[in-house]
Amino acid sequence: MAGAQTEMTLAEVQAARQRLQGSIYYSPCPHSQMLSGLTGQQVYLKLENLQMTGSFKERGALNRIALLTEAQAQRGVVAASAGNHAQGVAYHATKRGMRSLIVMPLATPLVKVSATREFGAEVVLHGANYDEAYQEALRLCEAAGMTFIHPFDDPVVMAGQGTIGLELLEQIPQLQAVVVPVGGGGLIGGIACAIKESRPEVKVVGVQTSRLPSMLEAVAHHEPVTLEPATTIADGIAVRRAGEFTLPMVERYVDEMVTVDEDEIASAILMLLEREKTLAEGAGAAALAALLQRKTTVIPANAHTAVLVCGGNIDVTLLSRIIERGMVQDGRMVRLRIHLLDKPGALAELSRLIANLRANIVDTLHNRAYYGVNLGDTVIDITMETRGREHVEELLAALTAEGYKHSRVV
């Protein structure tokens, strides 16, 4: 965009704070005794999933919208997004009486398309992925003379996200570290600037999904690198290329970048849901996953650490799969393949053994023709809910003691 600002300072974050006051929810940041015990830190959860659109994204979107000229506001705004940024732009543009046009990939879940339309946007479905939607958004923007709002690679948007850093300094006076999910870098760039320019001793750690570590690669090469497409449950930070403006902010202010894998993210989602009664999407749980898995090396033990729960917009079908995946990862759900004699009562005897060990059978698959089964034998796959890994080991030992041939199904 011609004349666009290319740098961001603490003063810009402070100005954004004044600009957004009264329009953005001052999200709570409670201390979690349970997570503190599990991680060896004093953990505080910054609950940006409680924003009106379920994500921090509306901070940056509103800061950009608020700085439009009257002529720009009359023409409206354009964005490309498959989720949170789309809803943030749509909600705040509509509140100010502006037209918003959002281009979303064809594969975007219907629930996200519907939510964006409900916030008042005109939605155009185009392209097989974000990159194709982005190019179409730029084309429509130029054709209509509208203003494009980038989801992260814009210093004004970054300054809006940075207001979270100012809030953290107020909410946790003894703050020693902050852990932030990273996609394109707009969130961590803004927060890191706000915190490091105010209190440089505070450690800032970024977390990416191991499927798409675009910022890690950018830092390693000192320039943005485009990664191959990959799928991840942390779709909110599934960015193939770090930002041109965000990379220098990360290099200047961020102390450490780490990655977490799919199972670790799933486990963190489940932990937040069960123990904290907090719904987080994949990206929203990534920061906690890094702490739970002790990935960071720069945060001292028992440090007062803020963890960004940056969003809670998750498809319920995906949530169901993530809960199951998390339970498997935690050893609370297991599938065993057990060989039986093909005779009356054999299954009843096995069921009694499992019942006596207090495991709950949730699914079975009985098979006589596959898995190399001998004539006169059968194989059954049993999916069970357990109390955890120790309970699974107890089950396996009991099956072995009773002479059952068994193996885990993964």
**Each residue of 253-298: pLDDT tens digit?**
999 999 999 989 998 999 999 999 999 999 999 999 999 999 999 9
Q: Is the pLDDT of residue 1 over 50?
A: no
CA distance 380 to 229: 38
Each residue's pLDDT tens digit, 354-410: 999 999 999 998 776 555 566 567 888 999 999 999 999 999 999 999 999 898 887
Task: Provide the pLDDT for residue 341.
Answer: 84
Helical H segments across 236-340, by residue range: 246-253, 262-275, 282-292, 316-329
Half-sphere exposure of residue 269, counting CA atoms within 13 Å on the CB side?
30
Helix (H) or strand (E) segment spanning residue 207: strand 203-209
Backbone φ and ψ of 351, nearest 5°? -60, -40
State how far the Cα of 86 lies from the Cα of 103, in Å rounded to an integer.
8
**Alpha-carbon dihedral sign for residues 185, 190, 193, 198:** negative
pLDDT grade, residue 129 (50/70/90)? confident
Q: Does residue 61 have a pLDDT over 80?
A: yes
pLDDT tens digit string along 228-254? 989 898 988 999 999 999 999 999 999
Q: Provide the 3-class DSSP secondary structure of residue 382.
A: strand
Q: How far apart are CA 349 and CA 346, in angstroms?
A: 5
Q: Give residue 166's pLDDT.
A: 98
The helix or strand, by DSSP H or E, that contains position 87, with its residue range, turns out to be helix 84-95
Cα distance between residue 102 and residue 227, in whole Å: 25
Cβ pair 100, 129 in contact under 8 A: no
Residue type, 189: G
pLDDT at 394: 95
Between helix 155-171 and helix 57-66 the angle, nearest 10°, is: 120
* pLDDT-derived band at 107, boundaries 50, 70, 90: confident
Q: Tally Cβ neighbours within 10 Å of residue 377.
A: 16
Bridging pattern class, strands 122-125 and 147-148: unpaired
pLDDT of residue 45: 98
Question: Helix (H) and strand (E) counts for the chain?
Answer: 16, 14
Q: What is the β-pairing status of strands 304-309 and 147-148?
A: unpaired
Question: CA-to-CA distance for 179 and 289, rounded, in angstroms?
Answer: 10
Strand-strand pairing, 377-385 and 406-408: unpaired
Q: Domains in the chain, start-ordered, CATH in brackets? A: 10-55+155-326 (3.40.50.1100), 57-148 (3.40.50.1100), 333-408 (3.30.70.260)
- Report the mean per-residue pLDDT for the chain: 92
Is pLDDT above 60 for 97? yes
Region 311-326 average pLDDT: 86
- 136 in helix, strand or coil? helix
